[in-house]
Amino acid sequence: MVDKESNKTHFGFTEVAVEDKARLVGEVFSSVADSYDIMNDLMSFGVHRLWKRHFVRRVAIQPGAKVLDLAGGTGDIARLLLPRVGNAGSVVLSDINPEMLAVGRARMEDQGIVKGLEYVLANAEELPFQDSSFDAITIAFGLRNVTDKAAALLEMHRVLKPGGQVNILEFSQVKSKIMERLYEQYSFSLLPKIGAIVAKDEDSYRYLAESIRKHPDQETLANMLRDAGFKKVSYENMTNGVVAIHRGYHV
Ligand SMILES: C[S@@+](CC[C@H](N)C(=O)[O-])C[C@H]1O[C@@H](n2cnc3c(N)ncnc32)[C@H](O)[C@@H]1O
């Protein structure tokens, strides 16, 4: 969270100046972009694919919808959204990091996925879209990296059409004590080691574990959505709260 008085925020467990966080996060994702997809499979034992599939299935859209995937990285969510919006719809895959978007674009083009997809380099805090542009917005494992989450939620509200839905998939607070202990051990001991071997970058994967701990829990994030103007806010835990899906509507 941003502390407006001290102008500080957190980068993992480290307190940093607000203006430095985006650069530090940028360095993390520029460093891991090439190994991002393989690391996701390795560190979640493939479970991230199940979470993402369930997440996209639950997005309330009809064929023909225009959807914005924010912090979309290498495009896992955009790829799953495309069949949902059909030939008449479109998906904007957007991210602040050019390296992540480039890896995503190359992967999509390799798979022959071109139609209905647009790539936009954008900071979630200042979206380059007009008011009421999208039927739905998705953001998966992205919000915790954004410096000013309240500003990003306001922007999401602004660019959604009335009746549109925001969908957030993010790590959250684990609801079982045993699971919490195992998860703690795993993310602070094993995860940075896997990062060191596969991505040659232990620090970025330590940041990942720390950023998960610093992210608002289920109720706090639900209230942040309400503060940004979203209505009918709800959330759904998966894997005992390891991740949660939050939803809200622009009414
Ligand atoms: C963990 S990745 C998630 C990528 C993808 N959504 C997925 O689920 O695989 C987080 C992404 O958030 C992006 N990001 C970080 N800060 C951002 C911001 N302020 N605005 C937009 N994207 C941001 C990063 O560049 C990175 O691609």
Return the residue whose CA atom lies nearest to atom 1 of ligand 1.
Answer: 141
Whether 148 is in a domain gets the answer yes
How far, in whole angstroms, is CA 54 from its chain's centroid?
15
Pull the structure tokens for residue 48.
């991230």
For ligand 1, is residue 199 a contact (CB within 6 Å)? no
Give domain status of residue 195, yes or no.
no
The H or E element that residue 130 is part of is none
Instruction: Give the Cα-Cα-Cα angle 43, 49, 55 (nearest 5 degrees).
Output: 125
Task: List, for residues 172-209, the tens digit of each pLDDT value.
Answer: 999 999 988 998 899 888 888 988 998 888 988 898 88
In this structure, the residue with its CA closest to atom 13 of ligand 1 is: 71
Compute the chain's Rg from CA coordinates: 17
Question: Does residue 214 lie in a domain region?
Answer: yes
> Could you give the 3-state DSSP secondary structure of residue 39?
helix
| CB 97 near ligand 1, within 6 Å | yes
Cβ(242)–Cβ(223) under 8 Å? Answer: no
Q: How far is the C-alpha of 228 from the C-alpha of 178, rounded, in Å?
A: 34
Nearest protein Cα to ligand 1, atom 6: 72
C-alpha to C-alpha distance for 106 and 140, rounded to whole angstroms? 20
Considering only residues 13 and 136, tell me which one the structure prediction assigns the higher pLDDT: 136
Report the residue among 19, 97, 123 best suited for mutation to probe ligand 1: largest number of ligand atoms under 8 A from its CB. 97
Overall domain count for the chain: 1
Query: What share of the chain in percent tops pLDDT 70?
Result: 100
Ligand 1 mean position to 73 CA, how many Å?
5
Give me the helices (H) in 186-228, please: 191-194, 202-214, 218-227
| Percent above pLDDT 90 for the chain | 73
In testing the pocket of ligand 1, which one of 76, 95, 204 has its CB within 8 Å of the most ligand atoms? Answer: 95
- DSSP code at position 3: B
* Residue 55: alpha-carbon gap to chain centroid: 12
Q: What is the mean pLDDT of the chain?
A: 94
Q: Is residue 180 part of a domain?
A: no
Question: For residue 183, is it within any domain?
Answer: no
> What does the pLDDT average to over 225-245?
97
Instruction: Please determine, for residue 1, whether its predicted confidence score (pLDDT) is greater than 80.
Output: no
Assess whether the C-beta atom of 25 lies below 6 angstroms from ligand 1. yes
CB 27 less than 6 A from any atom of ligand 1: no
**Whether residue 245 has pLDDT greater than 90:** yes
Q: What pLDDT is attached to residue 2?
A: 76
To test the ligand 1 pocket, which listed residue (145, 204, 212, 243) has its Cβ within 8 A of the most ligand atoms?
145
pLDDT of res. 93: 98
What confidence score (pLDDT) does residue 173 get?
94
pLDDT of 4:
73
For residue 140, give its domain range: 8-175+205-249
73 Cα nearest atom in ligand 1 = 27
Query: Which range is least confidently modeled, 4-8, 70-74, 123-127, 201-205?
Result: 4-8
| CA–centroid distance for 174 within its chain | 18
pLDDT at residue 183 in the model: 87
CA 76 to ligand 1 centroid distance, Å: 12
- Token pair recorded at residue 211: 């950023």
- Name, of 16-25, 26-35, 200-209, 220-229, the range with top average pLDDT: 220-229
Strands 134-140 and 66-70: parallel
The model's pLDDT over 117-176, given as tens digits with 9 standing for 90+, comes to 999 999 999 999 999 999 999 999 999 999 999 999 999 999 999 999 999 999 999 999
Neighbours of 196 (CB within 10 A): 15
Report the pLDDT value the prediction gives residue 5, as an integer from 0 to 100: 75
In this prediction, residue 205 carries a pLDDT of 87
With tokens 């941003």, the residue in question is 2
pLDDT recorded at residue 146: 96
- Is residue 71 within 6 Å of ligand 1 at its C-beta? yes
- Pair of tokens at residue 96: 């602040």
The pTM of this model reads 0.95
Q: Using alpha carbons, select from 226, 104, 220, 233 the residue that is nearest to residue 167.
A: 233
Is the residue at 132 inside a domain?
yes
Q: What is the pLDDT of residue 33?
A: 92
Q: What does each C-alpha distance from 50 to 100, 108, 181 come to in angstroms?
A: 21, 20, 23
Name, of 8-12, 40-44, 58-62, 199-203, the range with top average pLDDT.
58-62
- φ/ψ (deg, to 5) at 142: -115, -40
Ligand 1 close to Cβ of residue 29 (< 6 A): yes
CATH number at 15 reads: 3.40.50.150
Residue 193 falls within a domain, yes or no? no
105 domain residue, yes or no: yes
